[in-house]
């Protein structure tokens, strides 16, 4: 999992991305151009309704864009001929509401995808799952069902469930927004660890501390457009646009 | 008192022992159970297929790209909707008679025709039960499955259906119990089920009380037994809900 952070090859390239929801003619995304390079932690911030979650969900086509292209490792995944299921295997996703499978144990949550999709043996999949559980300090919970876990534990499991597929990039959709305040830290710690290990990450979050500390780049979105994009230092200490200044004044 | 007891005794002998009349009840019970389980299997098979078509249509048609697949799904969905509407809009006795005297008029196997008729009937109700179950599963479950790389069918199979099944189990039990009692009209197509068996005894002995109450008691015990069985199954499935 050690990836050379200085390498600058583009893993996701978004060009002219648009998303118009039917009815009302709302433009959730209005011409987004962005790149995510290997080993980067791109943090996407912005007011609610700015389209940041829609943008993230377009990256693995959970939301179908109505215009523009998304290239993942050089392949245009918005082309209907592309087998999106294969590409999704390499794009882990973590949701605001965890979305663990409630009818399966923690271990089964983590092994079902590698066993079914990557044809890993049970022993192999479980070995990897247990190693990941150990990394997030939850190895003793492998037999528990999701309903027996706290929110913070659920989200840590959701993160390692995605990691079981050995993804090239991890997408985080407001991973701490549904958590009680005292549990936010444990999830952010896991994400920091992951970033430290060199994982490519795209993170939609309201945690400005995380953006400043861990982000290699911060994207500020509003009204479906990217307003500003810069290093965390520049975004937080030297915002250019009025909208970003306003936003920061409210959240900091 | 002794008179009363001996009268009961002689009625019992007349209705059940003489000429081995208990066999009408036992053979009838076997027919009722065969009919119910056969129809249940057919009904669940139809119900799962129809409910998956209906929910797939309702959830994905908006975002589906135009093409033959989309057209096919719209067509299938329309067929399923008509099926559910027609079946639920006609009394089961009428359906049974139509099946026996018109659609399968050439068949002499009334058990088979009866099983098919009740199965096709039950399928429409089971489809609506399953549809409710599938729709009740949080959309995040589908998204989580798809984001891991499962295709639509795999996500349904491993993630959505097992959860939906748990949700609908009590309702499915009610449908099963209702089905078992509904089969009592199968005498219309000359099939000797439990009800018909009791009625035959009544016709022979001119003593309605014992055979009819015997049939009623057997239905009641069956329903109580299956309720208990599914209650046990439900408690086992609930281990993940602590």
Map out the domains of chain B with their CATH numbers: 2-240 (1.10.3720.10)
Q: What angle do CA A183, A184, A190 make, to 5 degrees?
A: 100
User: What's the pLDDT tens digit per position in B195-233?
Assistant: 998 898 898 888 888 889 989 999 999 999 988 888 888
Mean pLDDT (whole number) for B48-73:
89
Q: What was the pLDDT predicted at A23?
A: 66
Q: Answer whether A85 sits within 8 Å of B151, measured CB to CB.
A: yes
User: Does residue B237 surpass a pLDDT of 80?
Assistant: no
Choose among B62, B147, B151: nearest Cβ to A62: B147
If you average pLDDT over every residue of chain B, what do you get?
Answer: 90
Predicted confidence at residue A2, as pLDDT, reads: 44
- Are A101 and B141 within 8 A, CB to CB? yes
Is pLDDT at B22 greater than 90 in this prediction? no
Q: How far is A152 from chain B (nearest CA, A)?
A: 18
Q: Which of B171, B98, B161, B73 is nearest to B128 (CA)?
A: B171
Q: How large is the average pLDDT for residues B104-119? A: 92
Looking at residue A5, what is its pLDDT?
Answer: 46
SS3 state of residue A250: helix
Comparing CB atoms, the residue among B149, B151, B162 nearest residue A103 is B162
- The pLDDT of residue A26 is above 80: no
* Nearest-5° Cα angle at A247, A244 to A250: 150
Residue with the bigger pLDDT between B2 and B185: it is B185
Tell me the pLDDT tens digit for each residue of A159-195.
999 999 999 999 999 999 999 999 999 999 999 999 9
> Tell me: the pLDDT tens digits for A114-137?
999 999 999 999 999 999 999 999
CB B74 within 8 A of CB B61: yes
Instruction: Check pLDDT > 80 for residue A149.
Output: yes
Task: Give the pLDDT band (50/70/90) at residue A1.
Answer: very low
CA distance B154 to chain A (A): 9
pLDDT band for position A86 (cuts 50, 70, 90): very high
Is B240 near chain A, with CB under 8 Å? yes
Find the CB nearest A103 among B62, B145, B166: B166
Q: What angle do CA A95, A171, A155 make, to 5 degrees?
A: 35
**A20-24, A84-88, B10-14, B105-109: which is most confident:** A84-88
Q: Do B62 and A80 touch (CB under 8 A)?
A: no
**For residue B141, which residues of chain A lie inside 8 Å, CB to CB?**
99, 101
**Confidence (pLDDT) at A3:** 44
- Of the listed ranges A24-38, A78-92, B137-151, the least confidently predicted one is A24-38
B240/A91 touch (CB, cutoff 8 Å), yes or no? no
Average pLDDT over residues B123-142: 96
* Partner residue facing B163 (CB), from A85, A89, A102: A102
Q: Quick check: A165 contacting B, CB < 8 Å?
A: yes
Distance CA B138, CA A196 (A): 33
Average the pLDDT over each of A120-134, B18-32, B116-130 and give the range with the smallest value: B18-32
Residue B5: pLDDT band (50, 70, 90) is confident
Pairing status of strand A200-204 against strand A41-45:
parallel
Whole-model pTM above 0.95? no
DSSP output for B169-227: HHHHHHHHHHHHHHGGGGGGGT---HHHHHHHHHHHHS--HHHHHHHHHHHHHHHHHHH
Do residues B173 and B122 make contact, with C-beta atoms less than 8 angstroms apart?
no
Q: Helix, strand, coil proportions of chain B in percent (round to 5)?
A: 85, 0, 15
What would the mean pLDDT of A25-54 be, rounded to a whole number? Answer: 93
Q: Any chain B CB within 8 A of the CB of A112?
A: yes
Cβ–Cβ < 8 Å for A91, A36: no
Q: Which residues of B180-208 are buried (b: 16+ CB within 10 A; e: fewer)?
A: bebbbbbbebebbbbbbbbbbbbeebeee
Sheet containing A225-230: order of strands: A91-94, A169-173, A200-204, A41-45, A217-222, A225-230
Instruction: Determine what percent of chain B is predicted with pLDDT higher than 90.
Output: 63
Q: What is the pLDDT of residue A34?
A: 96
Q: What is the percentage of chain B residues whose pLDDT exceeds 70?
A: 98
Look at residue A108 and tell me whether its pLDDT is greater than 50: yes
Decide if A80 and B65 are in contact by the 8 Å CB cutoff.
Answer: yes
User: 3-state DSSP call for residue A215?
Assistant: coil
In this prediction, residue B94 carries a pLDDT of 96
Min Cα distance A7 → chain B (Å) is 27
A62 interface with B at CB cutoff 8 Å: yes
Q: Which of B63, B140, B143 sits opposite A64 (nearest CB)?
A: B63
pLDDT level of residue B65 (50, 70, 90 thresholds): confident
ipTM greater than 0.90, yes or no? yes
- Residue (of A52, A32, A35) closest to A44 by Cα position: A52
State the nearest Cα–Cα gap between A97 and chain B, in angstroms.
8
* Residue B77, pLDDT above cutoff 60: yes
Provide the 8-state DSSP code for A82. Answer: S
Tell me which chain A residues have a C-beta less than 8 angstroms from the C-beta of B144.
93, 95, 99-101
- B148 vs A: CB within 8 A: yes
């Amino acid at each position: 999992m050690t990836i050379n952070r200085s390498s600058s090859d583009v893993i996701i390239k978004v060009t002219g991305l648009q998303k118009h929801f039917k009815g009302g003619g709302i433009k959730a995304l209005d011409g987004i151009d962005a790149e995510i390079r290997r080993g980067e932690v791109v943090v996407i911030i912005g007011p609610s309704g700015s389209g940041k979650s829609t943008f993230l969900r377009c990256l693995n086509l959970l939301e179908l864009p109505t215009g523009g292209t998304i290239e993942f490792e050089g392949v245009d995944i918005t082309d209907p001929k592309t087998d999106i299921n294969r590409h999704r295997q390499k794009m882990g996703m973590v949701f605001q509401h965890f979305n663990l499978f409630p009818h399966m144990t923690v271990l089964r949550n983590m092994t079902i995808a590698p066993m079914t999709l990557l044809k890993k043996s049970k022993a192999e999949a479980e070995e990897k799952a247990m190693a990941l559980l150990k990394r997030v300090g939850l190895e003793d919970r492998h037999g528990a069902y999701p309903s027996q876990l706290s929110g913070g534990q659920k989200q840590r499991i959701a993160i390692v469930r995605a990691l079981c597929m050995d993804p090239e990039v991890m997408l985080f959709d407001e991973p701490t927004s549904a958590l009680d305040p005292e549990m936010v830290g444990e999830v952010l710690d896991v994400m920091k660890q992951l970033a430290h290990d060199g994982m490519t990450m795209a993170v939609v979050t309201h945690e400005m501390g995380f953006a400043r500390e861990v982000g290699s780049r911060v994207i500020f979105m509003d009204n479906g457009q990217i307003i500003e994009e810069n290093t965390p230092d520049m975004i937080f200490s030297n915002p250019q646009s009025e909208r970003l200044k306003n936003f920061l004044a409210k959240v900091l | 008192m002794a008179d009363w007891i001996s009268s009961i005794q002689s009625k019992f002998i007349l209705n059940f022992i003489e000429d081995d009349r208990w066999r009408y009840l036992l053979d009838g019970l076997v027919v009722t159970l065969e009919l119910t389980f056969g129809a249940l299997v057919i009904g669940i098979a139809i119900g799962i297929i129809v409910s998956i078509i209906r929910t797939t249509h309702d959830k994905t048609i908006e975002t589906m790209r135009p093409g033959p697949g989309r057209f096919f799904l719209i067509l299938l969905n329309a067929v399923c909707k008509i099926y559910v509407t027609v079946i639920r809009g006609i009394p089961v006795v009428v359906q049974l008679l139509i099946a026996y005297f018109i659609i399968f008029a050439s068949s002499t196997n009334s058990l088979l025709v009866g099983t098919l008729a009740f199965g096709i009937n039950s399928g429409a109700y089971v489809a609506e039960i399953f549809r409710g179950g599938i729709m009740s599963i949080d959309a995040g479950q589908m998204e989580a499955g798809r984001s891991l790389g499962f295709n639509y069918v795999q996500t349904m199979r491993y993630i959505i259906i097992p959860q939906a099944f748990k949700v609908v189990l009590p309702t499915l039990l009610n449908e099963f119990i209702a089905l078992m009692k509904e089969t009592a009209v199968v005498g219309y197509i000359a099939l000797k089920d439990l009800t018909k068996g009791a009625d035959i005894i009544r016709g022979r002995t001119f003593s309605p009380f014992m055979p009819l109450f015997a049939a009623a008691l057997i239905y009641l015990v069956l329903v109580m037994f299956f309720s208990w069985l599914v209650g046990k199954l439900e408690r086992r499935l609930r281990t993940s809900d602590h």
